[in-house]
């Protein structure tokens, strides 16, 4: 049984995006955004992000998206400021950092959605076709390149393929998940996914955030595809997009869930507090006067947002109750059971202490040492980690010092 570990390097294999862009990494998200058409769409909200760059970092508004901000450092800074302001009970400053925090989540997912909104990834299709039904994939990526490849070429379905049952699935309308009676490859997404949806979180002094809903916080919704326009925030639908991708605003949740009340406000949104600033940016950049486009759809239901774990240093998995606890436990068991572990495009950064702990605990429970295959152009630190931290002898480690792409010889992974 194989368990494949997928990191950001594997997403770089997608080189056929209609945008001409490849999937970003931590220090080029903002540069990538500038190269996409959505950077000139005022429905894509960036006002508070830019304002923080201007007010807190003294970066000219015209230079912000050419800066080399690391998104982990930037998002962590915003979260820290949000916590500080919440302690002071300053509601307006609280909202200022809160809205920027959420705008970043929407921005990450929107950039990824735009890039993956094209033909299905050949490299990912070849990978999933090389697996047996009992093999599993563990990924730290938010994109849906694997999801789409699995959906189109295997028995995998969103109803059960993520290992946990979603509350509802959007397939041109909200539908209930079907029962599973098929063998399938488990796709375990340890940091969430661009097509996973939840309700907006609201600031909470004790826990930073609480989800704005009166259902189990571990519940999540899945977006798969749409044919007709859907209800969304302020009716700002735009489409069509390929399956597993959508424009900036995902569909509203039309379900019998209630919102929590918070100091008289039923819901918070990542809207533009400083629209004049955003207007100025676009006018200076494009030389034309732009206006927010008119709404194109109704806005019934509860606004949804992407369910991803933001790239902050102290990741808040517990916001979603047992959702990620269960996923990480499933991932641990897959590593325990695997006779072969394949690492593609993931470098085990030192800040991912939770991942390193996951492997340490899993290897302590394994009955026999696995074969480990590493596909990475710079594999040395990964080899050292497996040898000296996880206790895997070099004789069990095979290294392919190369990039994973559509031309990678997948028969190398059969040992």
Strand ranges (DSSP E) for 226-364? Answer: 304-308, 340-344
| Amino acid 3: pLDDT | 96
Residue 201 is predicted with a pLDDT of 81
Return the pLDDT at 397: 95
pLDDT of amino acid 270: 46
pLDDT of residue 289: 54
The whole-number pLDDT of residue 265 equals 37
User: Residue 160 contacts by C-beta under 8 Å, 6 or more apart in sequence?
Assistant: 177, 178, 179, 180, 182, 184
Name 81's Cβ contacts closer than 8 Å, sequence gap at least 6: 56, 97
> Structural domains in the chain?
2-13+121-166+183-191+319-413 (3.40.50), 29-118+197-314 (no CATH)
Instruction: State how far the Cα of 176 lies from the Cα of 180, in Å rounded to an integer.
Output: 13
For residue 279, what pLDDT is reported?
A: 56
| DSSP β-ladder status, 201-204 and 208-211 | antiparallel
CA–CA gap between residue 210 and residue 350 (Å, rounded) = 29
- C-alpha–C-alpha distance, residues 115 and 244, integer Å: 12
- Residues 165, 189: Cα–Cα separation, whole Å: 13
Q: How far apart are CA 267 and CA 277, in angstroms?
A: 24
Q: What is the pLDDT of residue 244?
A: 98
- How far is residue 228's CA from residue 78's CA, in Å, rounded to a whole number? 37
pLDDT of residue 260: 58
Q: Is 403 exposed, middle or buried (0-12, 13-18, 19+ CB in 10 A)?
A: middle
Alpha-carbon gap, residue 128 to 298, rounded angstroms = 38
- Which of the residues in the chain have pLDDT under 70? 88-94, 203-209, 212-215, 255-297, 415
Tell me the angle at which helices 275-286 and 47-57 cross, rounded to the nearest 10 degrees. 90
Query: Using omega within 30 degrees of 0 as the cis cutoff, is the peptide bond preceding 240 cis?
Result: yes
The pLDDT of residue 95 is 80
72 Cβ contact list (under 8 Å, min separation 6): 26, 311, 312, 313, 351
């Amino acid at each position: 049984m194989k368990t494949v570990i997928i990191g950001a390097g594997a997403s770089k294999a997608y080189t056929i995006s209609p945008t001409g862009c490849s999937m970003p990494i931590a220090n080029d998200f903002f540069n990538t955004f500038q190269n996409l058409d959505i950077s000139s769409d005022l429905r894509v909200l960036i006002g508070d992000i830019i304002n923080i760059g201007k007010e807190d970092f003294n970066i000219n508004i015209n230079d912000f998206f050419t800066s080399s901000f690391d998104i982990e450092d930037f998002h962590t800074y915003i979260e820290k400021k949000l916590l500080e302001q919440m302690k002071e009970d300053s509601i307006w400053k609280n909202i200022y950092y809160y809205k920027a925090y959420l705008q970043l989540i929407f921005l990450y997912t929107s950039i990824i959605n735009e890039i993956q909104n094209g033909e299905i990834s050949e490299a990912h299709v070849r990978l999933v076709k090389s697996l047996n039904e009992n093999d599993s994939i563990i990924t730290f990526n938010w994109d849906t390149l694997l999801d789409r490849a699995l959906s189109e070429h295997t028995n995998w379905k969103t109803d059960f393929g993520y290992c946990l049952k979603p509350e509802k699935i959007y397939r041109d309308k909200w539908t209930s998940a079907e029962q599973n009676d098929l063998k399938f490859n488990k796709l375990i997404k340890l940091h969430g996914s661009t097509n996973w949806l939840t309700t907006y979180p609201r600031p909470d002094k004790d826990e930073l955030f609480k989800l704005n809903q009166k259902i189990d916080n571990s519940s999540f919704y899945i977006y798969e595809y749409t044919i007709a326009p859907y209800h969304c925030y302020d009716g700002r639908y735009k489409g069509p997009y390929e399956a597993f991708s959508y424009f900036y605003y995902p569909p509203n949740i039309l379900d019998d869930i209630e919102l929590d009340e918070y100091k008289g406000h039923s819901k918070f949104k990542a809207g533009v507090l400083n629209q004049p600033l955003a207007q100025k940016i676009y006018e200076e950049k494009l030389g034309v006067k732009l206006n927010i486009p008119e709404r194109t759809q109704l806005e019934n239901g509860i606004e949804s947002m992407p369910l991803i774990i933001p790239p902050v240093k102290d990741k808040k998995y517990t916001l979603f109750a047992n959702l990620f606890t269960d996923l990480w436990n499933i991932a641990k068991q897959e590593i325990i059971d695997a006779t072969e572990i394949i690492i593609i495009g993931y470098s085990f950064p030192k800040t991912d202490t939770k991942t390193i702990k996951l492997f340490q605990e899993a290897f302590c429970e394994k009955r026999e040492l696995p074969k480990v295959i590493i596909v990475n152009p710079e594999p040395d630190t990964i080899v050292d980690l497996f040898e000296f931290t996880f206790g895997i002898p070099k004789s069990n480690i095979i290294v392919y010092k190369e990039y994973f792409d559509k031309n990678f010889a997948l028969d190398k992974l059969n040992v």
